[in-house]
A and B are shown apart, each in its own frame.
Chain A
Amino acid sequence: MSGHLNPDVLDRARQLISLYPEPRSALVPLCHLAQEQDGWLRPEAMAEIAELVGVTPAEVQGTASFYDMLHLEPVGTYLVSICTNIACMLDGGLELLEHAEEHLGVGVGGTTEDGMITLEEAECLADCDRAPCVQVNHRYVGSQTAESFDALIEDLRAGRRSDEIPSHGTLIRVRRDGGLRADPEQVARERAAMAEAKARRAADQGGGS
């Protein structure tokens, strides 16, 4: 199953895995990486991730499908998320969503024919002072009206926002520089010494504290 993730992604995947005490912890970050490569989570990618973190492909699929941001079906270049949760609803979120459906000609979950836009009804995006809140590929674009929304879509289609909004899947453009720095052996020694000191102190106090 290996061979789907390209070498750079694979390098980054291995680095991520090395950050955790157990490889499986890197499962979700690796899914993000695969989405960065493909725009969505292809079965081939899930199978390769399974191999990398030591679980079955069914477990990667099962885990990934729990999370809204991991897409097991293709997604447009831009995922437009409109929040309709309580704060945004009080400020016209539902109406904006309705407008968006009409304007884009797709329902919630749908992708426009040109493959550019996938529309999503989001739960609270934690930007409630700028309601109704909209994200494009998880970049906040601030409070929107029907008019500003249409303009936003036009900009997206024309590629005018591509600097600030990478295409779907790219979540974190800042890479971690370097792996773990604390020397595990030193850490183990420190921990052992600490535990010993604790035990000694406890013993000195006659076990009661």
Chain B
Amino acid sequence: MAVTEAPRIVTARIDQPDSHTLERALATGAYQALRKALAMTPEAVAAEVDAASLLGRGGAGFPAGRKWAMLRSSPVTYLVVNGDESEPATFKDHLLVERDPHQLIEGVLIAAYALQVSRAFIFLRGEFALGLERVQAALNEAYGYGAVGADIFGSGFSVDIVVHPGAGAYICGEETALLESLEGKRGFPRIKPPFFPAAIGLYGEPTVVNNVETMSNLPWIVTHGGAAFAALGEGRSTGTRLFALAGHVRNPGVYELEMAKTTFADLIHAPVLGGGVRHGRELKAFIPGGVSAPWFGPDQVDLPLGQDEVGAAGSMLGSGSVVVMDDHTCAVRASWRITKFFSRESCGQCTPCREGSGWLERIMERIETGRGRSEDLDLLLDACDNIAPGLTWPPQQTTICVLGPSIPSSIHSAIVMFRDEFLTHVKEGGCPYG
């Protein structure tokens, strides 16, 4: 396989230095899709999105069209855009909000029209100060241009968009925590069932929550038709997708690739993409879909970047992040740092997640810093098992949300793949990588 000739759908505009301005956006076709959509019935717009079989780009990969269908019979609904992007090593939405806010706004408007909502919220990660400014400025421009607000482009359709800043909490990316946060509360995830946003969402009303990238695909889909989108990719993985590549590669960055037609090997090694492992080192392991995902080793590098293919291999495409670790990487240290992340970011509601994450982190730290015991490996796995019974994938859980069962992924992967390294840490009383 190789890098395909697929069009750039969401990154078409970003090479221009002023890509975030209305002027540049209009010059490159922005809001034409919105005009087209407004001339269609809301049902017809939704039908195109359904035909595109656009999978959500936030992590769970649920088809957007199907999610919308659940909502289209409720009179009061909200649309909430998830721009909280905080999954470690994921930085694709960052790019979209800073570099093409009008594309995002246009996508939101198209969705709002299809869903007939009158208020949409764009929840952006608080640390995206520039992104917040860019989206707010773009929104101001869009209001001025008549694309948002009352009677958009004379179509009779009215909608307001509100940019809502987060304030620094990873868990608010989880959609129900995001809604709590948007209601002015702590980001405590809600229990599903019954709190599926599509049924009981913002202020208890049915709500669609979609990711920034999901929204950003909509203008293209409306312009070119759902079928054109579905023609790209393979199987359930249609269209293109952004992959954030980080870690020990020559060219870290965000790449838009046709789904399922490209492999991890292409992403990591192709000269126009990752450019290979840095400093001529070897690939030790990579994390395919954000730190919640189980790790892959060099054996799995030829898997295609498709949702079902990666799922079948025991992990997930998740948030579209790929982290490459070279053979000089300490697996204990890497998984310890990831565990520390979860411990700091657990919302704190569920006992297994709140207490388990901290305990696991302290055990991992002990091992990394040379105070490990040989029985710690079994202890780690057993405590992990108490958070995600069976340590299977997709995980079972003893917690409310899936942050809990994400904690074991890195520990379990590291122990299974690099057990000897753990034992060396214990035996030598320290980290062999220094």
Residues of A whose CB lies within 8 Å of any CB of B are 19-29, 31-32, 53, 55, 62-64, 66-70, 81, 84-87, 89-91, 123-129, 131, 135, 137-140, 171-178, 180-183, 186-187, 190-192, 194-195, 198, 202
User: Are B91's CB and A128's CB within 8 A?
Assistant: yes
Q: Which residue of B has the minimal Cβ distance to A165?
A: B129
Shortest CB distance B334–A (Å)? 6
Q: Which residue of B has the minimal Cβ distance to A177?
A: B140
Chain A residues near B129 (CB-CB < 8 A): 137-139, 171-172
Chain A residues near B341 (CB-CB < 8 A): 85-86, 123-124
What is the number of contacts between chain A and chain B, taking CB atoms within 8 Å? 203
| B76 CB-CB contact with A under 8 Å | yes
Shortest CB distance A36–B (Å)? 11
Once bound together, how far apart are the Cα atoms of A19 and B78, in whole Å? 14
User: Are B86's CB and A126's CB within 8 A?
Assistant: yes
Once bound together, how far apart are the Cα atoms of A139 and B127, in whole Å? 8
User: Are B158's CB and A183's CB within 8 A?
Assistant: yes
Residue from B160, B182, B244, B291 whose CB has the most chain A CB atoms within 10 Å: B160
Chain B residues near A91 (CB-CB < 8 A): 247
Once bound together, how far apart are the Cα atoms of A89 and B160, in whole Å? 41
Given contacts A139-B129, A139-B130, A176-B140, contact A86 B160 (CB under 8 A): no
| B163 CB-CB contact with A under 8 Å | yes
User: Are B252's CB and A131's CB within 8 A?
Assistant: yes
User: Are B325's CB and A90's CB within 8 A?
Assistant: yes
Interface string of B78-97 (1 = CB under 8 A from A): 00000001111111011000
Chain A residues near B127 (CB-CB < 8 A): 69, 81, 125-126, 135, 138
Chain B residues near A55 (CB-CB < 8 A): 184
Shortest CB distance A78–B (Å)? 13
Show 8 A/B contacts (Cβ-Cβ < 8 Å), sorted by A. A66-B186, A69-B127, A70-B168, A81-B127, A85-B337, A123-B86, A124-B90, A131-B246
Q: Is the interface of B mostly helix, strand, loop or mixed?
A: mixed
User: Are A21's CB and B338's CB within 8 A?
Assistant: no
User: Are A128's CB and B246's CB within 8 A?
Assistant: yes
Q: Which residue of A has the minimal Cβ distance to B124?
A: A172
Shortest CB distance A205–B (Å)? 12
| B119 CB-CB contact with A under 8 Å | yes
Chain A residues near B347 (CB-CB < 8 A): 66
Chain B residues near A137 (CB-CB < 8 A): 129
Residue from B186, B245, B334 whose CB has the most chain A CB atoms within 10 Å: B186
Shortest CB distance B97–A (Å)? 10
Once bound together, how far apart are the Cα atoms of A129 and B119, in whole Å? 35
User: Are B150's CB and A183's CB within 8 A?
Assistant: yes
Contact of A181 among B75, B158, B203, B247 (CB under 8 A): B158
User: Are A194's CB and B75's CB within 8 A?
Assistant: yes
| B428 CB-CB contact with A under 8 Å | no
User: Are B184's CB and A171's CB within 8 A?
Assistant: no
Once bound together, how far apart are the Cα atoms of A140 and B91, in whole Å? 13
Contact of A27 among B88, B184, B325, B338 (CB under 8 A): B184
User: Are A22's CB and B203's CB within 8 A?
Assistant: yes
User: Are A186's CB and B150's CB within 8 A?
Assistant: yes
Shortest CB distance A121–B (Å)? 9
User: Are B169's CB and A66's CB within 8 A?
Assistant: yes
Within 8 A of A (CB), among B106-152: 116, 118-119, 125-130, 132-133, 136-137, 139-140, 143-144, 148-150
| B332 CB-CB contact with A under 8 Å | no
Chain A residues near B211 (CB-CB < 8 A): none
Chain B residues near A172 (CB-CB < 8 A): 129, 132-133, 136, 165
User: Are A124's CB and B88's CB within 8 A?
Assistant: yes
Contact of A67 among B87, B94, B168 (CB under 8 A): B168
Chain B residues near A85 (CB-CB < 8 A): 88-89, 291, 337-338, 341
| B38 CB-CB contact with A under 8 Å | no
Shortest CB distance A108–B (Å)? 12
Once bound together, how far apart are the Cα atoms of A63 and B158, in whole Å? 33
Chain A residues near B169 (CB-CB < 8 A): 66-68
Given contacts A67-B169, A171-B129, A176-B140, contact A87 B184 (CB under 8 A): no
User: Are A21's CB and B119's CB within 8 A?
Assistant: yes
| B52 CB-CB contact with A under 8 Å | no
Interface string of B317-341 (1 = CB under 8 A from A): 0000101010001000110011001
Shortest CB distance A99–B (Å)? 17
Given contacts A123-B88, A138-B126, contact A173 B254 (CB under 8 A): no
Q: Which residue of B has the minimal Cβ distance to A198?
A: B73
User: Are B165's CB and A191's CB within 8 A?
Assistant: no
Shortest CB distance B417–A (Å)? 16
Shortest CB distance A21–B (Å)? 6
Q: Which residue of B has the minimal Cβ distance to A21?
A: B203
